Structures are given as structure tokens and as C-alpha cells.
Amino acid sequence: MTRVRKIAFEEHYTAVGFGDYSRAFVQHLDPATAAELGARLTDFGQDRLDLMDRAGIDYVILSQTGPGVQGERDPAIALKRARENNDFLAGQVAQRPDRYGAFATLPMHDPATAAAELERAVTELGFKGALVNGHTNGVYYDDPAYDVFWQRLQDLDVPLYLHPFYAYVEPHAYRGHPELAGATWGWGVETATHTLRLIFGGVFDRYPGVKLILGHMGEGLPFQRWRFDSRFAAYPYGVKLQRKPSEYIGANVLITTSGVCSHATLVGAIAEMGAEAVMFSIDYPYESTELAVEFIETAPLDEATRELVCRGNAQRLFKL
């Protein structure tokens, strides 16, 4: 079978010292699975490349696995580790720039510091944007203090991937049900809520060129677009937006297929957002590359749409 050529960009790695941050969710895995994930996360060599070749993946953009420095309390340590991490990743990418690109790790504890590190990563290291693992110690980025960051992101014309992690305070409804707090449910709710804060907080009105990427088929947001418009019109609570809420989802908010290998969901997301707003990714190594590839190559899409989802949209977004 001729493989559809692909680009993927929710594809993770880790570096020395960052395992301390990710222990929060790795501790819930059995030891053998955790060890295998660790080996894959630290591999930049032939094993990862061979898997990409078998899957027809020409290029991946690598990002530090969660929660990264969003899990760090000390802003100074967060900046130090982010810069070290970005320099390390730049060195790995430089060995295979034909196959690897990079998302920056950002210390979002201070907006101006995050903006400066983003600019360094993009202009000096050649990074394609940044991936941030949700809130930073309970702070969300609709806060007007982060306008300096959004302005810099827009000026640099690179996207931000908003990746999930736990809520800052566990909701009462999750108590006694730890399975709800993480990737099965809570992470998606947390990330979707953060995105809605950005929409209703006017971030995309102030910075209409900003592109935000969500994984996991948009964390459910594409399928509530109509209701957002209906209920916001009925209960605006004094909030003013330049467009309907739905119009930001597909224009400023783009999504990947990572971790949701459902043909019905894919077709629905494209119907809601348009074919140019949906992009293939895997969530490697937490999801199966083989399963994700079979899913996208057998999806009920015409070939022009499949080409856009698999590579064309990413080529345009990342200027590849």
C-alpha cells in the first residue's frame, strides 16, 4: 500500500530533569509501561525514524512532554530549565533538520519572560512555535497581563499548542474517581475551558492573527459551536465579542486528530470547522502510531481533504 505522506506535531520527547515534572501522571502507569515510555521519549535516533518511515511520516515537530516547566513553582528555575531544554532540543533537531522540527518550552510564570524566550527560540533556534501545558500554577492566559505574550506570538507568526494537564484545584465532582481527573476526561475539560477563557476574554479580538492549536480532536469544542452561539446570545453577562464564539473555532483555534482515532468524530470536526482547520497528529509515544496511521488512511475522506489533513495544512501553518 502506498502511504499517504504525513506531518505530525503532537509528538513528545523528554530531557534530563523533566521526568520530575511528569511523575504526576507517570506514577499511575505500571512500571513496564512507564519504562517503555521513558525509552521512547528519550530516543531521537533510528528507532523513532524507522517508525516514522514505516508510517509515512516525513516530518515531526517535537515537544517536551507534560507538564514541563508549567509544573515548576519557581519562576527563575522555570526560565533556566526552559532555556536549557530549548537549547538541548535545538541540538537534536540540528542533527536531522529534514525530519525534526521543534516547539519551544516556555516559562509562562511571567508574560514578558515567556515572550522573550519564545522570540529567542523562533528567531535564533529556528523553532516552529511553542507548546504550553495548560495553566501555570493556576494562572490562565486570558489575563490581560499576557497581552505582551500574545502580541509577540502574533508578530512572530507562529502558533501556540495548548496541551492538557490537570486542573489547578480538583473539582469536587472528581473526588473518589481519580480516573476522571486525568486524560480520560479532566484534561480535556480543563483545556477546553482554558480555550473558552481565551475566546470570551477577547484575546483573539485583540490579536486576530494568533493561531492556537488543540489536540485530541479539539477537546470536544468543535461539537458545541452552535450551542456556544445560542447560549452566549441568551446569557452574555456583559461580555462583548467582535464575532460569534463559533467563528473563532476554526479560524483562530485549530485542532489535531491526536489521540482520537474515530472516523465519525473526524468527519464531524471537518464538517464543523472546515478541512483547513483539522490536522493529523499522533500523541507519540502515548498513543499508537500504527493505529493512528490506519485511522487516517482509511478515513472516509476525498483525497484532496486527506492531503490537507495529513500534510497540507501543517505545511501552510508552519511554512514548511
Q: For the segment 223-252, what is each residue's pLDDT rounded down to a tens digit?
A: 999 999 999 999 999 999 999 999 999 999
Cα separation values, 47 from 13, 40, 44, 52, 289, Å: 13, 8, 8, 9, 13
Give the closest residue to 277 by CA, choosing from 213, 219, 220, 223. Answer: 213
Confidence bin at 7 (pLDDT 50/70/90)? very high
Tell me, yes or no, whether 207 lies in a domain.
yes
User: According to the model, what pLDDT value does residue 159 have?
Assistant: 99
User: According to the model, what pLDDT value does residue 102 have?
Assistant: 98
User: Can you say whether the dihedral through the CA atoms of 126, 129, 132, 136 is positive or negative?
Assistant: positive
Confidence bin at 29 (pLDDT 50/70/90)? confident
Which structural domain, as residue segments, surrounds residue 215? 6-318
User: According to the model, what pLDDT value does residue 19 have?
Assistant: 76
What are residue 44's phi and psi, to 5 degrees? -115, 10
Give the pLDDT confidence of 31-45 residue by residue, as tens digits: 888 788 889 999 999
Tell me, yes or no, whether 108 lies in a domain.
yes
Tell me, yes or no, whether 1 lies in a domain.
no
Residues 270 and 15: their CA atoms lie apart, in Å, by 35
CATH number of domain containing 240: 3.20.20.140
Mean pLDDT lowest among 30-34, 101-105, 167-171, 209-213? 30-34
User: According to the model, what pLDDT value does residue 25 have?
Assistant: 65
Q: Catalytic positions, please?
A: 283
Spatial contact of 162 and 213, defined as CB atoms under 8 Å apart: yes
Give the pLDDT confidence of 179-201 residue by residue, as tens digits: 999 999 999 999 999 999 999 99
Cα separation values, 309 from 65, 255, 297, 305, Å: 24, 10, 11, 6
Confidence bin at 132 (pLDDT 50/70/90)? very high
Round the average pLDDT of the chain to a whole number and report it: 96
Number of folded domains that form the chain = 1
In the numeric block, which cell numbers belong to residue 216? 485530541
The bridge status of strand 100-102 relative to strand 57-64 is: parallel
Cα separation values, 181 from 173, 178, 185, 274, 300, Å: 9, 5, 6, 31, 33
Establish how many alpha carbons lie within 13 A of residue 109's alpha carbon, considering only the half-sphere containing its beta carbon: 17
User: According to the model, what pLDDT value does residue 3 have?
Assistant: 78
Tell me, yes or no, whether 216 lies in a domain.
yes
Within 10 angstroms of residue 157's Cβ, the number of other Cβ atoms is 13
Give the closest residue to 187 by CA, choosing from 304, 62, 70, 86. Answer: 70
Tell me, yes or no, whether 69 lies in a domain.
yes
User: According to the model, what pLDDT value does residue 294 have?
Assistant: 97
Question: What is the per-residue burial (b if ≥16 Cβ within 10 Å, else e) of 202-231?
Answer: bbbeebeebbbbbbbbbbebbebbeebeee
pLDDT at 1 over 70: no
